[in-house]
Amino acid sequence: MRIARFTAGEDPQFGVITGELDDQGEMDPDATLVALAGDPLYVGIKLTDEEHRLADVRLLAPVLPRSKVVGIGRNYAAHAAELGHDLPAEPLMFLKPNTSVVGPGDPVFYPRQSQEVHYEGELAVVIGRICRDVPAEKVGDVVFGYTVANDVTARDLQRGDVQFTRAKGFDSFCPLGPWIETELDTGDLRVRTFLNGDPVQDGSTRDMIFDVPTLVAHISSVMTLLPGDVILTGTPEGVGPMGVGDEVDVVIERLGTLTNKVAARD
């Protein structure tokens, strides 16, 4: 099931999308969206009789993390190598504030403090239940679904700071969307990023050093996860700079395409 958060001109609502993706990760232009009563993370899937054409609504970030976005660094060997790092012995965790989240089509604002802002296309996990100390074999019980993320990073600030907080924490540095897919096998999904239409990243989740169950088990052994918390699972090789005016598409097989443009911060 694909669940989107959207506005048809008034307050944000959730809805279930009816329509199929093509091989390029583009949704059927005739897809529709059936509105839900309330937030499905808290009240379950309650369909209403309100229906919209997907093309007529504006999609929003499909989840607003209640407490945190947990990032994982260097989870693909080739990406760790391109940044000159050894492979981590355990998942390398960092936090992005929930205020960094924006939706599909929203601008990513280029901060004044950086001259080197990078895209990082990633698979994102949306947590569905309050949980801690989740065994890897039970992780499926606490995952609500999956979406596409761009873990935007000010690489120059990341190199200079000990912590990743500033480099990854600016407002608009966590685009999520376009929707949440609740049924997805994450073992071998192609993850691609395009900069102004040119392919720049092309990896597969099968190359993750730590897979999704291992990550959720590890993170939940450290901190309680809440419904709506988001985990970014790391980026394949090919990260690079983007500038004001650039458009970035992150495409994940069977999930969809997340598109954002970089804008100057006024």
Contacts with Mg ion by CB under 5 A: the residue count is 3
Residue 168 C-beta: closest distance to Mg ion, Å: 8
Judged by beta carbon, residue 144 or residue 164, the one nearer Mg ion is 164
Task: Kindly identify the residues of this chain, within the stretch 226-245, that bind Mg ion according to CB under 5 A.
Answer: 235
Judged by beta carbon, residue 39 or residue 211, the one nearer Mg ion is 211
Stretch that binds Mg ion, among 8-16, 112-120, 159-167, 201-209 (CB under 5 A): 112-120
From the list 266, 225, 256, the residue with the least C-alpha distance to 103 is: 256
Judged by beta carbon, residue 60 or residue 250, the one nearer Mg ion is 250
The residue at minimum Cβ distance from Mg ion is 151
Contact with Mg ion (CB under 5 A): which of 57, 60, 151, 172? 151
Contact between 260 and Mg ion (CB under 5 A)? no
What is each CA distance from 240 to 148, 217, 235, in whole angstroms? 18, 30, 11
Contact with Mg ion (CB under 5 A): which of 120, 181, 229, 249? 120
Task: Kindly identify the residues of this chain, within the stretch 154-183, that bind Mg ion according to CB under 5 A.
Answer: none
Q: Distance between CA 231 and CA 158 in Å, rounded?
A: 19
> Tokens at residue 119, please?
């895209």
Contacts of 67 (CB under 8 A, 6+ apart): 98, 226, 228, 229
For residue 97, the SS3 value is coil
Residue 30 C-beta: closest distance to Mg ion, Å: 35
- Chain residues in the site for Mg ion (CB under 5 A): 120, 151, 235
